């Protein structure tokens, strides 16, 4: 369904934590016990990515063959609302902000949370650049 609504979406299987540990160990990376324990419990999962119009959506579909919910990271500086509408509206899917608040994709101010976030993000980046003028 995602590919039908967002052509060009690429999907892949993210390796399990144990597989990632094996690669790190092969490269000689020292792994603290706490991190090792966390990685050992991570299953392989399915992911996808869509890029267009100055935004990217990364989909985390989980490890279960039946997808019940999708976590999506939105990145970039463009407007994600038209893309989210194309993805969600045909089946009445919901978009929720990190706070858990539902986003009304039909509202004129549907992108208000995204605008607040990008302003916050960009201000933080500028503050870091000012502290480290060599960036």
Is the pTM of the predicted complex or chain greater than 0.85? no
pLDDT of residue 74: 94
Rounded to the nearest 5°, which phi and psi values hold at 23? -65, -45
CA separation for the pair 56, 89 (Å, rounded): 19
Tens digit of each residue's pLDDT (9 = 90 or more) over 7-61? 999 999 999 999 999 999 999 999 999 989 998 999 999 999 999 989 999 999 9
Q: Average pLDDT in the 95-109 region?
A: 90
**Token digits of residue 27:** 């490269």
SS3 string of the chain?
Answer: CHHHHCCCCEEEEECCHHHHHHHHHHCCCCCCHHHHHHHHCCCCEEEEEEEECCEEEEEEEECCCCCCCCEEEEEECCCCHHHHHHHHHHHCCCEECCCCCEECCCCCCCCHHHHHHHHHHHHHHHHHHHHCCCC
pLDDT of residue 134: 64
């Amino acid at each position: 369904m995602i590919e039908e609504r967002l052509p060009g979406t690429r999907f892949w299987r993210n390796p399990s934590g144990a597989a990632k540990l094996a690669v790190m160990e092969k490269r000689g990376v020292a792994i603290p016990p706490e991190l090792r324990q966390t990685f050992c419990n991570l299953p392989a999962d399915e992911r996808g990515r869509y890029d267009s119009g100055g935004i990217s959506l990364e989909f985390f579909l989980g490890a279960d063959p039946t997808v019940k919910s999708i976590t999506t990271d939105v990145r970039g500086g463009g407007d994600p609302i038209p893309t989210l509408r194309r993805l969600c509206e045909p089946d009445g899917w919901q978009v929720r902000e990190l706070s858990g608040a539902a986003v009304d994709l039909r509202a004129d101010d549907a992108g208000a949370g995204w605008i607040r976030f990008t302003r916050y993000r960009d201000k933080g980046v500028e503050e870091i650049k000012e502290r480290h003028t060599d960036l």
